[in-house]
Chain A
Amino acid sequence: MTASVFFGCTFIAFGPAIALFLFTIARDPLRVIFLIAGAFFWLCSLLLSSLVWFITVQISNKESSSQQKGLLIFGVVLSVLLQETCRFGYYKLLKKANEGLLMLSAEETMPISIRQLAYVSGLGFGFMSGAFSMVNILADSVGPGTIGIHGDSQHYFLSSAFMTMAIVLLHMFWGVVFFDSCEKQHWWSLAVVVISHLLVSCLTFQNPQYVGSLVPTYIIVFLLGLWAFFCSGGSLRNLKLCLTCKDKDFLLANHRPR
C-alpha cells in the first residue's frame, strides 16, 4: 500500500485509455463532447440499475447473505442489459443528432463519421465504467493498510487494475462492433456483443479465483479487438502500410511528410 502500488495500478488500469484519449480525442472538441455524453449515458444506465437493485434489497431479507448475493448477481445481469440498452439509445440519439449537426454546421459533409462516433462513445462508456470500478480502490491504495489481512486475496489491487483495463478496452470494442452491426442491421452480431458482455461480467463471479476470470476475459478482449479492427475497415494490408509508414491517406490526414 504505497505510492508505487497506486501509480502502478493507475497506469495499468487507465494507461491505454488515457493514451487513446490524448492522441486521438483531446484535440477535437466535438469528439470530447461525444466522449462525455457517452460517459453520461453509462452513468444513467448505472443509476437505473442501482435503483432497481436498491428497491429489491429493501424488500428482501437483509439477514440472509445468500439472498443478498443472489440479488447482487441479479443486479449485475440487469446492469449489463441496461448498459447495452443505453448504448442502443445513444446510437439512436446520435443518428438523429447527425442530421441536426449537418444542418447547424456550415460544411457539406459530416464533421464526424458514425465510425468515429462509435469509437468515441465506446471509449466514453469504458472511461466511466473503469473509473467507477477503480477510483475508490485507488484512493484506498494510497492510504495505510494491509491487503487481505483477513485471509482474502493478496492480489486485490493488481487484479482489479487488470480487470479494469480489460473492461475499458472491451467497452471500446463493443462500441465499435455495436454501432457497426446497428448500421448494417446485423442483429446476430449485436446479440454476440450483449452475450460477450454478460459472459465477461459473469466470469467475474469466480473472483477471487483470478485465473478463471482474468484469462478468459483477456482472450475475449483479444478476439473482440480483432473483430472491431476488421469491422472498422482494417485489414492486414492496411496494418502493414500503417506500420511501415507508407499509408498515404493516414499521412495526408495527419499532415506528415512521407
Chain B
Amino acid sequence: MLFVPVTLCMVVVVATIKSVSFYTEKNGQQLIYTPFTEDTDTVGERLLNSVLNTIIMISVIVVMTIFLVVLYKYRCYKFIHGWLILSSLMMLFWFSFMYLGEVFKTYNLAMDYPTVAMIIWNFGVVGMICIHWKGPLQLQQAYLIAISALMALVFIKYLPEWSAWVILGAISVYDLVAVLCPKGPLRMLVETAQERNEPIFPALIYSSAMIWMVGMANPARHAEPTNQDTGTFCLISAYNPLALTMLRGVKLGLGDFIFYSVLVGKAAATGGDWNTTLACFVAILIGLCLTLLLLAIFKKALPALPISITFGLVFYFSTDNLVRPFMDNLAAHQFYI
C-alpha cells in the first residue's frame, strides 16, 4: 500500500543524486536556517556548528507548526490556503524548472525557452489543480511524490553534511513529542479537526484511498457525521500536520516522504557504495511496516518518522563503517556468504 509511493519517491531521489551531479555539489551556499558553516578547523567545532544548525532548524519548524495550529484554531482558513498555494506554486514551478534545467545540463540536451515554458506551465498548472482541487487520484499521488522528491533534493543539496544527520535525528524526536504529547501541536491539530469533523488540507498529505476524493474540494464544508466510525488510520509527521478519521485507506504526511528520501538520498550521495543505500532503504521500509502495525493496534494518529529514521540512521552508520569493508574484502576475493 504505502510501500509503492515511498519506494517511488526514494527511487526518484536516488536516481537523481546518482546521475545529476548538481545536487551533490557543495558550493558553500546554505539555507538561512543553517547559518553555521561546517568548514571548520577542528572536529569539535564542526560538531558544535551542526548542533547549533539543528537547533535553529528545529525551532523554525516548531514555530511554523505552532503558527499553523493557531491559524487553524482561529479558523483563518484563507490564510492557510494562501500559504499552501504559494508554497506548492514555488515547488511546482520554480523547483521543477531548476530540476529540468539540471537534467538537461547533465545529458547535454539543447533546449529553447518557449518549449521549457510550455512544459513547466503545463506541469505546474495541472499539479496545482490536482493537488488543491479535483483530479484523478493517481495523478494527485504522482504529483505529491514529485514535490516530495524535489523538496528532498533541495534539502540534500543545501544542508551541510553533519547537520543533515543531526537534523534527521532531532526531527524524529520532535515528531514523537508533537504527536504523542497531550499538548503537542500536531495532536491538537488532529483533535481540533476531529471535533469540527473536517478533513485536513489535501496539499500536505498523501492518501492511498479512493474516498478521499469526496472530501477534497472545500475543507470548510462539514463532512458527514458517518465519517466517525471504524478505522481511523493516519500517520502524522512533524513537518506537515496531518489528517483525520477516514473510512478506509492510510495516509502519510508529505514530510515523512521528504525525510525518508533525504536519508536515503544522503546515503546514496556520500560514497559510491550501493550497499549502504539498499540497507537504508530496507530499514526505512521495515520501520514503516512496524509503524503501520502499531497503527493497526492502537488505532489513532501516530508519528511516522521515529522508528523508520532510527532504523535508517543505525543501518546507515553501521553499514558504512562495518559492512562495507567486509563486503569489499569478500568481493575482492570473490567469496560468497
Contact = CB atoms under 8 A, between A and B. Distances in A.
A43 B327 contact: no
Contacts of B279: 43
A104 interface: yes
A128 B282 CA distance: 9
User: Do most interface residues of chain A lie in helix, strand or loop, or is the interface mixed?
Assistant: helix
B322 A129 contact: no
B334 A32 contact: no
A90 B235 CA distance: 27
Interface in A1-59: 29, 32-33, 36-37, 39-40, 43, 46-47, 49-51, 53-54, 57
Nearest to B272: A139
Interface string A107-134: 0000000000000000000001101110
B31 interface: no
Band of interface residues on B: 20 to 34
Most buried by A among B315, B331, B333, B336: B336
A231 interface: no
B323 A167 contact: no
Given A51-B322, A75-B326, A204-B336, A137 B286 contact: no
B83 interface: no
B1 A205 contact: no
B323 A46 contact: yes
Contact of A76 (B3, B289, B319, B337): B337
Given A47-B318, A47-B319, A136-B274, A72 B329 contact: yes
Contacts of A205: 333, 335
Interface in B14-31: none
Interface string B97-121: 0000000000000000000000000
Given A47-B323, A139-B274, A79 B285 contact: no
A36 B286 contact: yes
Contacts of A160: 334
Contacts of A163: 334, 336
Given A43-B315, A54-B326, A133 B286 contact: no
Given A43-B279, A135-B274, A136-B274, A159 B334 contact: yes
A50 B325 CA distance: 8
A156 interface: yes
B3 A29 contact: yes
B273 interface: yes
Nearest to A105: B296
Interface string A186-216: 0000000000000011001101100000000
A136 B283 CA distance: 19
A50 B326 CA distance: 6
B282 A39 contact: yes
A102 to B, nearest CB: 14
Nearest to A82: B337
A76 B330 CA distance: 8
A80 interface: yes
B275 interface: yes
A47 B282 CA distance: 13
Contacts of B330: 72, 75-76, 133
Interface string B299-337: 000000000000000010011011101111111011111
A201 B285 CA distance: 29
Contacts of A136: 273-275, 327-328, 331
Contacts of A43: 279, 282-283, 315
A72 B335 contact: yes
A98 B319 CA distance: 31
Interface string B1-19: 1010000000000000000
Interface string B250-278: 00000000000000000000001111001
A83 interface: yes
B267 to A, nearest CB: 13
Given A50-B323, A53-B326, A137-B331, A36 B282 contact: yes
A32 B3 contact: yes
Interface string A158-187: 011001000100000000000000000000
A69 interface: yes
Given A49-B326, A136-B274, A136-B331, A40 B286 contact: yes
A147 to B, nearest CB: 12
10 A-B pairs with the lowest CB-CB distances in the bound complex, closest first: A207-B334, A50-B326, A50-B322, A135-B274, A79-B337, A204-B336, A50-B323, A40-B286, A54-B322, A204-B335
Given A68-B329, A136-B331, 9 more contacts: A37-B286, A47-B318, A50-B326, A72-B333, A128-B278, A136-B273, A139-B272, A201-B336, A205-B335
25 contacts: A29-B3, A32-B3, A36-B282, A40-B283, A43-B279, A43-B283, A46-B337, A47-B323, A49-B326, A50-B318, A50-B326, A54-B321, A57-B325, A72-B333, A75-B326, A75-B330, A128-B282, A132-B275, A132-B323, A133-B327, A135-B275, A136-B327, A163-B336, A201-B335, A204-B336
